[in-house]
Structure 1
Amino acid sequence: MNDILVDGVRLAHHHTPGSTGGTVVLLHGTPSHSHIWRNVAPALEADGHGVLVHDLLGYGASERPVDRDTSVTAQAELLADLLAQLGIRRCTLVGHDIGGAVAQLFTTAHPDRVDRLVLINSVSYDSWPSSTWRRIIRDHLDDHAAMSQQEFEALLTRQLEMVVADPARMTGGVLEAYLRPHRTPVGRASFFEHQVRYYDSTPTQRVAPLLRTLPTPTWIIWGAEDRWQPVDHAHRLAADIPGASLTTIPGAGHFPMEDDPQRIVEELRAALARGQAL
């Protein structure tokens, strides 16, 4: 990952120009960072596609600025600046979880800049935060500094175990990679102040009516065993977005890139082979 200064803040990113003439932008969600694409991005790069992954502001290795808006609305605005700075005029935009909210906001605001939209287990409408996150917001958001590191990691581990269909996939080095950005006092505080504090469905409720007239070719990919964003939301998105294609993945949960990364690669390859040419 390299650092780039965008609108006065530092973003960690990886950008590989491709030979096909276009770029696939992979947006992660929460509680996550760009690590989630580690088994997807290299395959697309090997196919010749340009690929951009970055840690959202306040996430992963990106800056954690004090008093900076890190809502999905702000992330979409920052994405526009990042793409402009990298000279990426058009892209295929792939968004997972809250990255899907960022993708919805960006695509409806800039449909001329998105060749294809892919939503993977995306938040939408009033579907978030989930019931478990609402309890965490109620119980810990305003007094998270009083939690011990052990208590915090136990809380986050319980949540991460829910994002995969098979909890054994969220152990060892995989779990460690998701916990690592939060293993300092700053990282732990940032988790609550830059991520949890902005778990707010207002932006996705506001953008929902625009989805019904979205001209962008859209693919919806969903882990069928998602406990946070049940597959009913995928069907609603597919019904609202004109011509949207829906694929559900058996045996995969909210993080299908962990449960079945090869299937995600296959579905993205199929989407990239259709729609507007890259």
Structure 2
Amino acid sequence: MTHLVTDHVLVNNTRIAHGVHGAGSPVVLIHGTPSSSYIWRNILPALVAAGHKVHTYDLLGYGLSERPWDPQIDTSVTGQVPVLEGLLDHWGLKDAHIISHDIGGAVAQRFSIFSRPRVRSLTMIDVVSFDSWPSKRTHQQMQAGLEALIKAPDTEHRAHFRDWLLSTVQNKDRLSQTSLETFLDFISNPVGQASLFQHQVRHYDPKHTDDLTPRLAELGQIPVQLIWGADDAWQVVDWAHRLHRAIPGSELNVLDDCGHFAMEDQPEKISALLVDFLGRKG
């Protein structure tokens, strides 16, 4: 296993794991939940080969970045935007192409609306938007109460979230044989399990995208591409069409045999779409 983030920097007094690869026009990759920058491992090489300098990082509270003990440190979608801003400054980037997934798409939406001159183009892959989240399954768990999951022994916790993660893809065998255990390791054991609920689940709140809804049309001022798995069970494809209608001039590509973790199911197709889009809009 080779992680894409090999360096660390303090942003607003919190440690962020990040990595920079290749040379050329700048691209920033923003992952979602419950994953990490590792989800881009099959996408990054194609971007580098196409002549892009690719910047990736683990969100605060995720992956190899710091898991803050202080509950006052904001790891919500809104709280992640200043982290992105600090990283751009650290990388010396005036602007960049933004590629995002899942709740990373909400971070990207907020950043692109409030800091539009810093965004060359925006790609959103199976992202949250409007009041599309939490997903139906997660909402049911939250309504039933999370206490049992929070206190579950590690073996039960891993079994539950192994099944949860497998629901993100069509090709379950491939996920099981590649990245499943890596994603599970990040959200399991005493630190990972506690961090999952403190830094991720408790912030599954559509208020972070609801207030953007009246302003989504502003994203039409930059090139926007939407990529969606036709079989996404977490963010069903209806949300893709609604987002497409809300952003003038946006492009939408719906991929067959592809779930929510689209980069796990269809990395080659997504890589080709990204290289083509950036080539045309770069």
Supply the AA of the counterpart residue of 1:208: T
**Residue 43 of structure 2: aligned partner:** 40
Task: Give me the whole-angstrom Cα distance separating, in 2, the residues matched to 1:239 and 1:172.
Answer: 37
Aligned length: 274
The answer (yes or no) to whether the contact 2:46–2:275 under 8 Å persists in 1 is no
Residue correspondence of structure 1 range 176-215 to structure 2 within 5 A: 176-214=181-219, 215=221
SS of the residue 1:56 aligns to: coil
Aligned AA for 2:174? Answer: R
Deviates more, 1:236-245 or 1:172-181: 172-181
User: What is the rounded CA distance, in whole Å, between the counterparts of 1:140 and 1:75 in structure 2?
Assistant: 26
In the TM superposition, what are the counterparts of 1:3-42 in structure 2 within 5 Å? Answer: 3-16=8-21, 18=23, 20=24, 22-42=25-45
Q: Where in structure 2 are there 5+ consecutive unaligned residues? A: 1-5
Distance 1:232 1:61 in 2: 33
- Once the two structures are TM-superposed, the CA of residue 120 in structure 1 deviates from its matched residue by 0.3
The residue that corresponds to 2:256 in the other structure is: 250
Q: How big is the shift at 1:145?
A: 4.3
Q: By how many angstroms is 1:238 displaced? A: 0.7
Residue in 1 that maps onto 2:171: 166
Contact between 1:144 and 1:189, CA under 8 Å: does it hold in 2?
no
Distance in 2 separating the partners of 1:95 and 1:205: 18
Equivalent pairs: percent with the same residue?
44
Please report the RMSD computed on the Cα atoms of aligned residues, expressed in angstroms.
1.3
Deviations 1:228-251 (A, max 9, x none): 101111111111101000001111
2-structure distance, mates of 1:172, 1:56: 25
Amino acid at match of 1:168: D
Deviation at 1:105, TM superposition (A): 0.5
Task: Write the letter of the residue equivalent to 1:97.
Answer: D
Paired position in structure 2 for 1:60: 63
Q: Secondary structure at the match of 1:212?
A: helix
Instruction: Using structure 1 for the length normalisation, give the TM-score.
Output: 0.95
Task: Output aligned runs, 1:1-278, within 5 Å.
Answer: 1-16=6-21, 18=23, 20=24, 22-66=25-69, 67=71, 68-214=73-219, 215-275=221-281, 277=282
CA-CA distance at 1:140 after TM superposition: 4.9
Instruction: Give TM-score, length-normalised by structure 2.
Output: 0.94
Distance in 1, matches of 2:114 and 2:123, equals 16
1:187 Cα deviation from its structure 2 partner:
1.0
Contact conserved, 2:157 with 2:188, CA < 8 A, in 1? no
Q: Which runs of 4+ in 1 moved over 6 A?
A: none
Distance in 2 of aligned mates of 1:178 and 1:194: 15
Query: Tell me, what secondary structure is at the counterpart of 2:97?
Result: strand
> Matched residues in 2 for 1:236 and 1:145: separation?
34
Q: Please tell me whether the aligned partners of residues 21 and 54 of structure 2 are also in contact (alpha carbons under 8 angstroms).
A: yes
Shift of 1:268: 0.3
Alpha-carbon deviations, 1:1-29, whole Å to 9, x = none?
A: 211111100011111251x3x21111101
- For residues 152 and 258 of structure 1, the distance between their equivalents in structure 2, rounded to whole angstroms, comes to 23
CA separation in 2, counterparts of 1:2 and 1:181?
Answer: 18
User: Which moved further from structure 2: 117-126 or 9-18?
Assistant: 9-18
Query: What is the one-letter code of the residue matched to 1:56?
Result: L
CA deviation profile, 1:205-240 (whole Å, cap 9, x unmatched): 111111112211100000111001011111111111
Following TM superposition, by how much is the alpha carbon of 1:169 offset from its aligned partner in structure 2, in angstroms? 2.4
Instruction: Give the 3-state SS of the residue equivalent to 2:218 in structure 1.
Output: coil
Find the aligned partners of 1:69 and 1:270 in 2 and give their Cα distance. 36
Match of 2:3 in 1: none
